[in-house]
């Protein structure tokens, strides 16, 4: 089986920048928060790394209560990050060196400070009264007003702690921890409004064509300023059942361990396909309008959904838009499932002309080096990078950064748990104050520098050929050289002919061919590739020490892998 996965090369490596903690430009009095000009200053670094595109997390006008995913005006750069002119300059300079720029587009909700919501909440009959989702609620058997249904807020993790502290009244030991309701009472309108996330992030009413028009105008605004596409936030939430039916129990939910929000299976409050698919199509259609259709643009959808749903999304407009292949984020330590679901089934499910993608981290997830350990995460990066399609790197992954383990409680910014750990400043230069991220006083920094990051700074890695940074660069170069368009699953046995016990191999072909083999186990493995009886040249090894040396010629019938190691072979004979 071989699956052709991409039609034309390009967009191979997309690098996510979390602007608050990336770099503060030296063109202003230091504030301790990263800026757009700070990104422009680092374009050369990104060029050297070899990235094709950057995706910048939100930098729009915002009260910044959810890292900018609470937008007050999506057409303006927040002064914290600079000006619209700074954004124009960044886009222009990135384009001059061949780097594309995609930005976050947040269609499901705004900040409650957005002018649209401020107007909508004024009365039940103002021009924007129907721009958000309002409800009178219901009266329960005791005569009390209640939200209209059981829809829950994603941001319910704090309920676990609240329960432990006895802060949720009237719970018996047998009761599940209640999630936070997705409905909040608005005194002004004497109605509830819906918010799938925090109460300061009201959901827009996608069933209102004026709302859809206004959101598409935001996309056009940024396309006109030159961006090359969008990462579309939480897109599954724009499709809701207009009948507002209750969600049913999720029997796999583990109380006390999982986010209480996950105790419902979600078919009505989000991912309601009858609405979702046409609405998503409308978004991709913007990129095909006459003004834009000759540009090389892309959309990447953020939707934590089941593979069968993602498959439908990937078919909407394969040339332009795809969904993040997130599955592996939850399966990082389960190789058999990675191979079956997120390689073989994933590549086989992609429509013609679609772009596959690989992702192992982002600003919402624990850092991969913490999840897997240092060596295994280097190997995972290499394993991902060689796959055909678009590899996403979250800023700092190329340095092997870990999460900050002890951010003082008074400096926490995240409204939903522990995500700040992965959002601390980039360590550029460990010999400079604040690791070179900003010249501000330490107490002003967006988040404190992670002390564990100092030894991993860019300065300390850049000229070390064995560093994570050098490995990442090398892997990117090889990816581009190969220009893989096809994925070939391969079967592996141990050299005695038995099961391979956690070793996965795949081949790719494009301009040239390559073979990647990865040991997902913590023990040495000696394996053979069942269908390849030839030799290969070792092009890259994820491990620095023991084992094979690069450029060695190796029989593909006898490959020795150190624990967690990944090896890439080229010049297959």
Per CB under 6 A, residues contacting ligand NOJ are 66-67, 69, 106, 197, 233-234, 363-364
Q: Smaller CB distance to ligand NOJ: residue 3 or 201?
A: 201
Q: Smaller CB distance to ligand NOJ: residue 62 or 516?
A: 62
User: Shortest CA distance to 34 belongs to which of 53, 58, 14, 10?
Assistant: 58
Tell me the closest approach of the beta carbon of residue 206 to ligand NOJ, in angstroms. 15
Give the number of other Cβ atoms within 10 Å of residue 257's Cβ: 8
Tell me the closest approach of the beta carbon of residue 227 to ligand NOJ, in angstroms. 18
Q: Smaller CB distance to ligand NOJ: residue 64 or 426?
A: 64
Q: Smaller CB distance to ligand NOJ: residue 347 or 392?
A: 392
Tell me the closest approach of the beta carbon of residue 225 to ligand NOJ, in angstroms. 22
| 464 has catalytic annotation | no
Tell me the closest approach of the beta carbon of residue 420 to ligand NOJ, in angstroms. 11
Catalytic residue among 88, 207, 282, 302: 302
DSSP-derived letter for residue 149 is: S
Tell me the closest approach of the beta carbon of residue 450 to ligand NOJ, in angstroms. 19
The distance of Cα 58 from the centroid of its chain, to the nearest Å, equals 13
Q: Smaller CB distance to ligand NOJ: residue 5 or 64?
A: 64
Give the number of other Cβ atoms within 10 Å of residue 573's Cβ: 10
| 302 has catalytic annotation | yes
Tell me the closest approach of the beta carbon of residue 155 to ligand NOJ, in angstroms. 8
Q: CA–CA separation, 89 vs 86, rounded Å?
A: 5
Q: CA–CA separation, 191 vs 205, rounded Å?
A: 15
Tell me the closest approach of the beta carbon of residue 456 to ligand NOJ, in angstroms. 24
Contact 106, 49 (CB under 8 A): no
Residues whose CB is less than 8 angstroms from the CB of residue 308 and which lie 6 or more positions away in sequence, other chains included = none
CA 373-378-380 angle, to 5 degrees, is 90
User: Shortest CA distance to 388 belongs to which of 345, 352, 351, 343?
Assistant: 343
Catalytic residue among 70, 233, 375, 397: 233
Q: Smaller CB distance to ligand NOJ: residue 106 or 527?
A: 106
Contact 223, 181 (CB under 8 A): no
Q: CA–CA separation, 525 vs 518, rounded Å?
A: 10
Secondary structure, 3-state, 449-497:
CCHHHHHHCHHHHCCCCCCHHHHHHHHHHHHHHHCCCEEEEECEEECCC
Contact 490, 533 (CB under 8 A): no
Q: Which residue is nearest to ligand NOJ (CB)?
A: 69
User: Shortest CA distance to 156 belongs to which of 264, 73, 52, 237?
Assistant: 264
Active site residues: 233, 302
């Amino acid at each position: 089986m071989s699956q052709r996965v991409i039609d034309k090369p390009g967009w191979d490596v997309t690098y996510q920048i979390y602007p608050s903690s990336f770099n503060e430009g030296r063109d202003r009095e230091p504030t301790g928060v990263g800026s757009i000009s700070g990104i422009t200053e680092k374009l050369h670094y990104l060029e050297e790394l070899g990235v094709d595109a950057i995706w910048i997390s939100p930098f729009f006008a915002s009260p910044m209560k959810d890292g900018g995913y609470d937008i007050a005006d999506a057409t303006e750069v927040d002064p914290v990050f600079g000006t619209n002119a700074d954004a124009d300059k960044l886009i222009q300079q990135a384009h001059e060196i061949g780097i594309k720029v995609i930005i976050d587009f947040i269609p499901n909700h705004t900040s409650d400070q957005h002018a649209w919501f401020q107007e909508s909440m004024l009365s039940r009959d103002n021009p924007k009264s129907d721009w958000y989702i309002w409800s009178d609620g219901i009266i329960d058997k005791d005569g009390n007003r209640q939200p209209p249904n059981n829809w829950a807020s994603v941001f319910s993790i704090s309920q676990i702690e609240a329960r432990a502290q006895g802060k949720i009244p009237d719970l018996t030991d047998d009761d599940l921890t209640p999630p936070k309701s997705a409905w909040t009472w608005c005194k002004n309108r004497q109605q509830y409004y819906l918010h799938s996330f925090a109460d300061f992030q009201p959901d827009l009413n996608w069933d209102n064509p004026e709302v859809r028009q206004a959101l598409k105008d935001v996309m056009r605004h940024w396309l006109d300023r030159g961006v090359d596409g969008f990462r579309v936030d939480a897109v599954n939430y724009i499709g809701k059942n207009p009948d507002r039916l209750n969600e049913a129990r999720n029997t796999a939910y583990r109380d006390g361990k999982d986010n209480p929000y996950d105790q419902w299976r979600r078919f009505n409050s989000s991912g309601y396909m009858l609405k979702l698919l046409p609405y998503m199509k409308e978004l991709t259609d913007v990129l095909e309008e006459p003004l834009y259709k000759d540009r090389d643009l892309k959309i990447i959808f953020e939707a934590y959904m089941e593979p069968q749903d993602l498959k439908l999304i990937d078919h909407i407009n394969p040339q332009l838009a795809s969904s993040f292949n997130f599955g592996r984020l939850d399966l990082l330590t389960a190789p058999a499932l990675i191979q079956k679901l997120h390689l073989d089934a994933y590549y086989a499910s992609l429509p013609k002309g679609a772009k596959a993608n690989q992702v192992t981290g982002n600003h919402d997830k624990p850092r991969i080096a913490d999840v897997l350990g240092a060596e295994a995460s280097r190997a995972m990066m290499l394993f991902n990078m060689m796959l055909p399609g678009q590899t996403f790197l979250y800023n700092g992954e190329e340095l092997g950064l870990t999460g900050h383990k002890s951010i003082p409680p008074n400096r926490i910014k995240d409204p939903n748990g522990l995500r700040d750990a992965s959002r601390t400043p980039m360590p550029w230069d460990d010999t400079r104050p604040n690791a070179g991220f900003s010249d501000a006083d330490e107490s002003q920094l967006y988040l404190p520098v992670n002390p564990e990051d100092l030894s991993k700074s860019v300065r300390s890695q850049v000229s070390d050929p064995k560093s994570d940074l050098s490995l990442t660069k090398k892997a990117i170069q090889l990816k581009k050289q190969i220009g893989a368009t096809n994925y070939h699953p391969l079967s592996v046995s141990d050299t005695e002919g038995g099961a391979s016990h956690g070793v996965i191999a795949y081949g790719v072909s494009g301009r040239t061919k390559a073979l990647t083999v990865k040991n997902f186990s913590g023990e040495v493995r000696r394996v053979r590739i069942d269908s390849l009886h030839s030799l290969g040249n070792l092009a890259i090894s994820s491990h620095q020490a023991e084992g094979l040396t690069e450029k060695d010629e190796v029989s593909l019938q006898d490959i020795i892998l150190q624990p967690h190691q990944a090896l890439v072979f080229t010049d297959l004979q």
